[in-house]
Amino acid sequence: RATSTAFATSVQGRSTSTSSSRRRGSSKVHMSCGLCMDDEQAMRSGPLTHLDIFCPCAPCCRLDFALCEMTAVFGTVQVSNVKRASSTGLPSQTESLQEFAAWLDKDKLVAFRVESDEHTIEDSVWLALLDGKAFALEQDELHAGQHFERGWSVVRDHWFSFARTECAGGTRVYKALEEQTLFNVQSMMKIKDLKFLQGVPKRTRLSTAAWYKNNEFSLHRETYQLLVDSL
């Protein structure tokens, strides 16, 4: 029906039973639905159909709000224009993969998106310290159980392990892992110039296992939140 549709609903008390105990909590159900026949208009103003309480009638479940059978109970849906912000204040990630890969180099601090099923104590953003420039694989490779295809742009790096959150200020403390890993550049967040409060870690040829074991680096909570908001 509509070429641009966004639907979000928080469901509590879904049962259609007339029992009062089964209906308890249903007042917390809310609904918002964006419907627009014009893709460009949807991107510009995002007309949003909304109702304070979710209506379970058959037409509303089909998104035919004009045919709602329970307006006397739940009221009439409203339509509001929700314009896009001119600037989100978040870092731009529109740079091409080739341009971003050319920027990567030794001791750069980078961030990776993490799939929800891999969230651990590290949360949804993982950090890594690069060992050098990005390069294209000349042949297929298997590394740490992961398959990398010929031609992929990859980089060698070291993960940072999240150690703790400091109570004062909420900074996140990390330690670099000594084991080197290989990663696809495409899996990185294209955000440059990330820094710890101590600056960017610097290593030399004399850096040993003790460097990885003994050095800790703190990430400001606002910097981490910026990464999370940029996902």
- List pLDDT tens digits, range 5-64: 333 333 333 333 333 444 444 444 445 555 565 655 665 666 677 777 778 888 888 878
| Collapsed DSSP state (helix, strand, coil) of residue 6 | strand
Calpha distance 227→152 (Å, rounded): 25
Q: Would you state the pLDDT for residue 55? A: 80
Q: Would you state the pLDDT for residue 112? A: 93
Q: Which residues contact 112 (CB under 8 A, 6 or more apart)?
A: 125, 126, 127, 128, 183, 187, 188, 189
Calpha distance 224→125 (Å, rounded): 8
Calpha distance 222→90 (Å, rounded): 12
- Mean model confidence pLDDT for the chain: 77
Q: Would you state the pLDDT for residue 130? A: 95
Condensed to tens digits (0 to 9), the pLDDT of residues 65-105 reads 888 898 888 888 877 776 655 545 677 787 888 999 999 99
**pLDDT higher than 60, residue 3:** no
**pLDDT higher than 90, residue 204:** no
Q: Would you state the pLDDT for residue 202? A: 78
pTM over 0.85: no
Condensed to tens digits (0 to 9), the pLDDT of residues 116-173 reads 666 666 678 999 999 999 999 999 999 888 899 999 999 999 999 999 998 777 899 9
Instruction: Give the CA radius of gyration of the chain.
Output: 25
Q: Would you state the pLDDT for residue 142? A: 92
Condensed to tens digits (0 to 9), the pLDDT of residues 220-231 reads 999 998 898 888
